[in-house]
Chains A and B, each alone.
Chain A
Amino acid sequence: MSAHARNCLAANDWICGEYLRSRSEELTDATVEHIVITLSAVGLAILVAFPLALLARRWRIAAGGILSLTTVLYTIPSLAMYALLLPVFGISASIVVTGLVLYSLTVLVRNMLAGLQAVPEEAREAARGLGYGPARLLFAVELPLALPAVMAGVRIATVSAVSLTTVGAIVGHGGLGNLIYSSLDSYFKAQVLTASVLCVALAVAADLLLLLVQRLLTPWARAGGGGRRTRRRPGPAPAPRAEEVA
């Protein structure tokens, strides 16, 4: 047995530098598609979730309906979700983006609602006393105060979206998932492992980036040093709590 096969591609090793070199273009394309799908899905989901959260806050009946509907959507397995959207869009990336938007709504609406509801009444009163109208109250006072909860939701939604995009391979628009799916028939180990690792790296990078964005957007959370203000660093971060509702 010639253990020192020169070409790890021919030997079908799990780890293969030659693969990275020879297929870098394919990998880049897949990664870019992955990022584009995830970004557009989360972006759209935020745009849809925000008015829904406002509706849910305004009317209690709407809250019940919206929350249970999004929970039901969340229960549907990803493969089934994409399959159900097939007759709507035909084979296209819209299927994947729409599916991811529907999944993200659950976490986003819930967290936005929770964040808005947790705004202290005194802050609202004070703003009204200063002559803030409803729109200014929302965008200048309530939204910034709700931001930590909102961002926690955005982070969960983004990380899940990165992972669920891979399933889009069933319609040929799964970003890195395409590489994983196409390796199945040929048992191409290096491709599966590389794409999987890249996918996890994307999720972690996105999470850290959003954490950074959150810190930049909420400078007051860092100010005051000591840690008397609620700093969401190591302890029971909001992330797992938000999930248990799902």
Chain B
Amino acid sequence: MNLSVIPDAWSWLTTADNWSGSGGAAHRLNEHLYLTAVCLVLSCAIALPLALWLGHGGGRRFGGALAINISNAGRAVPTFAVLVLLTLGPLGTHGDLPTVIALILFAVPPLLTNAYVGISQADPSVVQAAKGMGMSHLQVLGRVEIPLAFPLIMTGVRTAAVQIVATATLAALPGGGGLGRIITAGFRTYRTPQVVAGAVLVALLALAVEGVLALAQRLLDPGRRHRVREAAPAPAGEAPHEPPTGRPRPTRPLTGSTQ
């Protein structure tokens, strides 16, 4: 155990030189954030419509099997191996393209699985009631199923985001950009303080991304607002703004027959 690394890593982090320039931490952080954002948006654009369609009834049997197997497969395939395979493959000459593809490949499974499970497990009696009220398919999806599935959909988004941040770090091994570069460069030059400093940055970034998305989930959850309104009959000013929920876990959808 080498404790002197901690102050050394701290001084690495607080040295302006390490942050500036084309290989500096600021630039690497930018690369990392940019890659994460682009790939998260692209993966959502691919996975969520598919999950909504499958969950809403476009072939549930197939959807269920796909949703489960794809996330099992996503776990079994090593991200590092895929990154290297894509880099050595024919796409390897196209700059960041192998990295982007790998990031999307590993972000789609959690998105797809969680959103599919959320939509397909929306309380059937509520869905039936919505249909009985004359809602169209799109209305049922948009006004009933998506709000009910929102916590799970967001769980998928958060898992995917964390996965992307982690995989983008690994992209440094086959020579990609991002904060992982600080770590790999440190390993190559036997500079442990730099390795630790880079790791701290990566860990903080991952936790920050998770935190921001958890906050977004809280603020955006359509079910929560509804619940608060319903739970607070008289004193509106007293409506609890921080319901004591811990981590947003895959809660059961809202209580079935309310009306």
Does residue A237 face the partner (Cβ distance < 8 Å to B)? yes
Task: Check if A77 sits within 8 Å of B206, measured CB to CB.
Answer: yes
Chain B facing A: main interface SS: helix
Report, nearest first, the 9 A-B pairs whose CB atoms are least far apart.
Answer: A77-B166, A83-B199, A196-B81, A80-B202, A203-B76, A80-B199, A87-B5, A163-B78, A166-B78
Question: Would A195 and B196 count as touching, CB distance under 8 A?
Answer: no
With A167-B170, A195-B81 known, 14 other A-B pairs at CB within 8 A are A68-B246, A72-B207, A75-B207, A77-B166, A78-B170, A79-B183, A80-B206, A83-B195, A84-B203, A86-B195, A163-B79, A196-B84, A199-B81, A207-B76
User: Could you say which of A78, A84, A189, A245 contacts B166, with CB atoms under 8 Å apart?
Assistant: A78
Binary contact track B109-127/A, C-beta < 8 Å → 1, others 0: 0100110010000000000
Bound form: Cα–Cα A76–B198 in Å: 12
A76 to B199, CA, bound (A): 9
Min C-beta distance of A103 to chain B, whole Å? 11
Q: Looking at the complex, which one of A72, A83, A193, A236 makes contact with B117 (CB distance below 8 Å)? A: A236
A residues neighboring B (CB under 8 Å): 64, 67-68, 71-72, 75-81, 83-84, 86-88, 90, 156, 159-160, 162-164, 166-167, 169-171, 177, 180-181, 183-184, 187, 189, 192-193, 195-196, 199-200, 203-204, 207, 234-237, 239-241, 243-246
User: With an 8 A cutoff between CB atoms, is B77 at the interface?
Assistant: yes
A180: which B residues are within 8 A, CB to CB?
A: 80-81, 84
Q: Does B42 contact A (CB under 8 A)?
A: no
Q: Which B residues fall within an 8 A CB radius of A?
A: 1-3, 5-6, 64-65, 67-68, 71-72, 75-82, 84-85, 87-88, 110, 113-114, 117, 152, 155-156, 159, 162, 165-167, 169-170, 172-175, 180, 183-184, 186-187, 192, 195-196, 198-200, 202-203, 206-207, 210, 246-247, 249-250
Q: Are B76's CB and A159's CB within 8 A? A: yes
List of B residues within 8 angstroms of A181 by Cβ? 80, 84, 173
Report the Cα distance A30→B226, complex, angstroms: 55
CB neighbours (8 Å) of A204 from chain B are: 76
Question: By the criterion CB–CB under 8 Å, are A170 and B202 in contact?
Answer: no
Q: Which residue of A162, A187, A245 contacts B76 across the interface (Cβ within 8 Å)?
A: A162
A79–B199 CB distance below 8 A: yes
Instruction: Specify the chain A residue showing the minimal Cβ separation from B202.
Output: A80
Residues of B contacting A163 with CB < 8 Å? 75-79
Q: Which residues of B contact A90 (CB under 8 A)?
A: 2
Min CB distance, A236 to chain B, in Å? 7
**Residue on B with the closest CB to A199?**
B78
Query: What are 19 inter-chain pairs, A to B, with CB distance below 8 A?
Result: A68-B246, A75-B162, A75-B206, A76-B206, A78-B166, A79-B170, A84-B203, A87-B196, A159-B75, A167-B78, A180-B81, A181-B80, A183-B84, A200-B81, A240-B67, A240-B71, A240-B113, A243-B110, A244-B155
For the complex formed, measure the closest distance between the CB of B201 and the CB atoms of chain A, giving whole angstroms.
8
Give the Cβ gap from A154 to chain B, nearest Cβ, in Å: 13
What secondary structure prevails in chain A residues at the interface with B?
Answer: helix
Q: Are A80 and B159 in contact (CB under 8 A)?
A: no
Residues of B near A183 (CB, < 8 A) are 84, 88
Q: For the complex, what is the distance from the CA of A203 to the CA of B72, rounded to whole Å?
A: 10
